[in-house]
Structure 1
Amino acid sequence: MRNFVIIRRMLLGLSTSLSILVHAQTKDSLVTHKLPSYPLIRPFMMQYERINNAEYTQRDRNKNIIGEGQAQTTRFRTFASMPVYQKEKIVISTNVLYTHESISNYTKTQVSGPLTKSTIQINDVDLTLSGVYRGILWKRPVIHTANIIVSSPNLIHVKKVSAMASSSMIFVKGVQTRYSLGLLFVLDPVIAIPVIPMFTYWHRFDNPLWELDVVLPQKIMLRRSDFLNGWLSIGTELYGNSFFTPESTQLPGNYEYRYADLFSGVGYERMLGKLIVGVRTGFRSTVQGRMLKVYNRNKDYVFDTKNKTVPYFNLHISWAVPYLFKPKALKK
């Protein structure tokens, strides 16, 4: 993907379909093999995230500096998914993602002047209608998905509507390896390439406590089970996010700020009944951050922001289930 921007609307639609994909192939080809112990399907999730002061520089499209300072971000997210229709190979579900961000900016009005603090509070809601169809192609399982995403800051004023679809073919190699190849189709002008390759890979090593979990273009994770009665993970994840900006005299119209971050570090998760509690820490590196008008192309931005790499902390809790939909949804 040339512009390296993977926004949260894409990841939200992929989360459910990738989980169903993994369980579908396991149900078909590894009937006698125990499912991976790590809980993949989480229909409800809450997380708190804090990103320490990050120095930033903002430049316009002519590369002129228009702002410098530091930013500290705290973010709260909650996600829920619920199936609404199921018949044979077709499943339809609804998803909601709510995000609240508090961003404190420390800027200088003069080169030698003191830092001035300003804080903005952001609320954002994404509603997604997702459809999953499971079929057979060349005697191999295939998963097709379609998603319509409606985005709003308050559930009343819709700011953006986008769509996404994907197709993935599943391959199984013994009881220790499985992978899928597919294509993601995105209907959003900000994406420079509307068709994006998708690849998932899961492998359990000869030492069964270790496994490799890859979902491109989202994450590469090495995981160890039975670590302090939980799971230790080491790796990197790519997250996209965006928020709508209030209309002003400087920016009249419908604008949003988009950014893509790499979160690298270590994490620990543990089951408490049906709940998973986890922490993760490491470093955040911003790949790209841009302000642009909604429905504009990524290159037609107002300004671009460069951030320095800084530490982050993430605390999350989720509800884990063996499958999101009834088992009949996984039958051929």
Structure 2
Amino acid sequence: MVLVLGILIFSIQSFSQNNDSIPPMAKEGLNPSQRAAAIAAAKFTIARPLNIEFTQLMPYNFTLKDGNNSYPDSKVKGLAQAKINTNINIIQKKNWLFGTTLGYNYISVKADMTEPFSQTTKNVDNDFHYFHAAANVAYISTLFKKRTVFTSSIIVDGSEKHFERIRGLLSGTMVLKANERTKMSVGFVIPIDPLSEVPFIPTFSYEHKLRNGLIVDIILPKNLYLRKHVFSNGRLSLGAEMDGTTFYLYNIDGTDQKYQYRQLDINSGFVYEHLIANSFLITGKAGVRFTPSGRLFRKQDSYSDPVLKMSADPAFYFNIGISFSPSLLIGKKK
């Protein structure tokens, strides 16, 4: 849901940038350095149709709890993830657009742990596959003389074995301000899912270019960054981003019961992005991952009714990715 929400907000930001920014003639008054900064900002803020990334975590300890019972500390010896996500606008009209979001997440885990169901200590070496897809519809309107975007999404997910869930998402975002230096919007998200633990999520986005070249970039509840364009095609960022890890498990207790594991991740540290050939973005990330909560629950239950809870120590991580977007050709010299 965080992924779909983030993509919707990025799309809305792109729309506001194209429709509510300063007029093209006003840009002619910018000096060469200001013009270069404006072009660079446009290249990095457009939603990216294709993103591929790999993440590696260093070893860390974690603890499992079953109600009031705690198991001995366990250790993840290695955790690797690979993600592929696409964001495609299929139909785009003046006041509405229809698109799709597709994603795949591969998780490889090696750990020494106390197995809760059998009460034995064993080495774990498992691979998990998680798929998700969403159909998104956005309607652009005006409310209180402000650009407002309403969206609805139908999201399905599952594993390589089964289709598992279908749920919905409704959201609304009002663009309060959008000019060359500042973009700000507020909104809401309503999950349509009987298993959801929250019925309403407020959203807020704020981007402001400071005169020293720094950029404050806030998209709540997704990320908080301080950014700086460096070199001719690079951007360096410092901050934190919320992410998540989830997958389905089968036959772990000797029955046909299906389980889902879900954890919240907060990745804090540095991000460097570099534009290549005006269409590709190479991204490198490094820092510390915090996992405030991780829970295993039966598929028919909710996240707030877990079978097991997990708490983990912070872990160092590094990430490398590549994104492709033909629309990054904006600003290319003729």
Q: Smaller-chain TM-score range?
A: 0.7 to 0.9
1:235 partnered with 2:239: yes
1:159 partnered with 2:164: yes
- Alignment partners' CA distance in 1, 2:253 and 2:91: 45
Alignment-mate amino acid for residue 201 of structure 1: Y
User: Is the 8 Å Cα contact of residues 20 and 178 (structure 2) preserved in structure 1?
Assistant: no
Alignment-mate amino acid for residue 59 of structure 2: N
Q: Secondary structure at the match of 1:144?
A: strand
Query: After superposition, what is the alpha-carbon deviation per residue over 1:31-59, rounded to whole angstroms, capped at 9, x for unaligned?
Result: 33546245221100000000111100000
- 1:272 aligns with 276
Matches within 5 A, 1:140-155: 140-154=146-160
Equivalent position to 2:294, from 289, 296, 306: 289
1:307 partnered with 2:312: yes
Query: After superposition, what is the alpha-carbon deviation per residue over 1:268-307, rounded to whole angstroms, capped at 9, x for unaligned?
Result: 1101111000111000110100001224222210010010
1:12 partnered with 2:3: yes
- 2:32 aligns with none
Shift of residue 85 of structure 1?
Answer: 2.6
After TM superposition, the structure 1 stretch with the greater mean CA deviation from structure 2, 295-304 or 261-270, is 295-304
1:28 partnered with 2:19: yes
Equivalent position to 1:216, from 209, 214, 220: 220
Equivalent position to 1:91, from 97, 101, 120: 97
TM-score normalised by L of structure 2: 0.86
- Alignment partners' CA distance in 2, 1:221 and 1:189: 33
- 1:135 aligns with 141
Q: Check 1:187–1:67 CA distance in 2 against 1; reply closer, same or farther (3 A cut).
A: farther
Shift of residue 91 of structure 1?
Answer: 1.1
Alignment-mate amino acid for residue 148 of structure 1: I
Q: Check 1:14–1:299 CA distance in 2 against 1; reply closer, same or farther (3 A cut).
A: closer
Q: Check 1:249–1:197 CA distance in 2 against 1; reply closer, same or farther (3 A cut).
A: same
User: Is the 8 Å Cα contact of residues 189 and 296 (structure 1) preserved in structure 2?
Assistant: no
- 2:331 aligns with none
User: Is the 8 Å Cα contact of residues 55 and 317 (structure 2) preserved in structure 1?
Assistant: yes
Q: Check 1:322–1:295 CA distance in 2 against 1; reply closer, same or farther (3 A cut).
A: farther
- Alignment partners' CA distance in 2, 1:272 and 1:90: 31
In structure 1, the gaps of 5 or more residues are 1-9, 110-114, 324-332
What's the Cα RMSD here?
2.2
Alignment-mate amino acid for residue 278 of structure 1: T
Matches within 5 A, 1:51-70: 51-61=57-67, 63-66=68-71, 68-70=73-75
- Alignment partners' CA distance in 2, 1:287 and 1:130: 30
Alignment-mate amino acid for residue 105 of structure 2: T
- Alignment partners' CA distance in 1, 2:286 and 2:204: 26
- 1:261 aligns with 265
Q: Check 1:306–1:202 CA distance in 2 against 1; reply closer, same or farther (3 A cut).
A: same
User: Is the 8 Å Cα contact of residues 188 and 295 (structure 1) preserved in structure 2?
Assistant: no
Q: Secondary structure at the match of 1:322?
A: helix
Q: Check 1:311–1:20 CA distance in 2 against 1; reply closer, same or farther (3 A cut).
A: same
Query: After superposition, what is the alpha-carbon deviation per residue over 1:87-142, rounded to whole angstroms, capped at 9, x for unaligned?
Result: 33121112210011100111368xxxxx8422001011101111111111111100
- Alignment partners' CA distance in 2, 1:38 and 1:233: 15
- Alignment partners' CA distance in 2, 1:250 and 1:301: 18
- Alignment partners' CA distance in 2, 1:136 and 1:294: 40
User: Is the 8 Å Cα contact of residues 39 and 322 (structure 1) preserved in structure 2?
Assistant: no
Matches within 5 A, 1:171-210: 171-172=176-177, 174-207=179-212, 209-210=213-214
Shift of residue 174 of structure 1?
Answer: 5.0
Q: Secondary structure at the match of 2:162?
A: coil
TM-score normalised by L of structure 1: 0.87
Q: Secondary structure at the match of 1:14?
A: helix
The number of residue pairs the alignment matches comes to 308
Higher helix fraction: Structure 1 or Structure 2?
2
After TM superposition, the structure 1 stretch with the greater mean CA deviation from structure 2, 66-75 or 237-246, is 66-75
User: Is the 8 Å Cα contact of residues 39 and 321 (structure 1) preserved in structure 2?
Assistant: no
Q: Secondary structure at the match of 1:58?
A: strand
Matches within 5 A, 1:118-129: 118-129=124-135
User: Is the 8 Å Cα contact of residues 17 and 179 (structure 2) preserved in structure 1?
Assistant: no
Percent identity (aligned):
23
